[in-house]
């Protein structure tokens, strides 16, 4: 059975302000729109982060949790989404790209967890 990455939701956590280093002010969180696509090889997450520059984007993976934070200080808020990932995902293969306000996250499955075709040998 496939386990789709799902978002960890907590109203209290969404309303908390970001704990930031002293040089950055805390910003309220806004939840960006996302699309999650699944294939035999893994998942593709597309997140709308208009106005976020790559230097203002932080992506962290810890144990089975993937956190995405994109700061928009001029607008006075930060985008934030948190996902709990299946153990089928290969954390070393996670890749991210930001272009035209859309973050693309590639979450590949471990090679041993990917669908494959089994060849049947002819006996004799």
For residue 92, is it within any domain?
Answer: yes
For position 11, what pLDDT does the model report? 37
Domain count, the chain: 1
Q: pLDDT by residue for the chain (124 residues), tens digit each? A: 445 666 554 433 444 444 444 466 789 999 999 999 998 889 999 999 999 999 999 999 998 899 999 999 999 999 999 999 988 899 999 999 999 999 999 999 987 766 777 889 888 7
Segments forming the whole domain that contains residue 41: 6-111
For residue 118, is it within any domain?
Answer: no
For position 15, what pLDDT does the model report? 41
For residue 90, is it within any domain?
Answer: yes
Question: The whole model's pTM is what?
Answer: 0.72
Q: For position 35, which CATH number holds?
A: 2.60.40.790
For residue 91, is it within any domain?
Answer: yes
For residue 123, is it within any domain?
Answer: no
For position 103, what pLDDT does the model report? 97
For residue 116, is it within any domain?
Answer: no
For residue 120, is it within any domain?
Answer: no
List, as one string, the DSSP characters of 20-74. --TTS----EEPPPEEEEEETTEEEEEEE-TT--GGGEEEEEETTEEEEEEEETT
């Amino acid at each position: 059975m496939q386990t789709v990455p799902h978002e960890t939701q907590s109203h209290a956590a969404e309303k908390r302000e970001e704990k930031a280093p002293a040089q950055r002010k805390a910003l309220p969180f806004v939840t960006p729109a996302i699309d999650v696509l699944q294939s035999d090889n893994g998942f593709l997450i597309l997140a709308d982060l208009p106005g976020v520059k790559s230097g203002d984007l932080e992506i962290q993976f810890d144990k089975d949790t993937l956190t995405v934070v994109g700061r928009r200080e001029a607008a006075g808020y930060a985008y934030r989404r948190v996902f709990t990932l299946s153990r089928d995902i290969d954390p070393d293969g996670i890749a991210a790209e930001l272009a035209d306000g859309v973050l693309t996250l590639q979450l590949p499955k471990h090679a041993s967890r990917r669908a494959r075709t089994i060849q049947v040998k002819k006996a004799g």
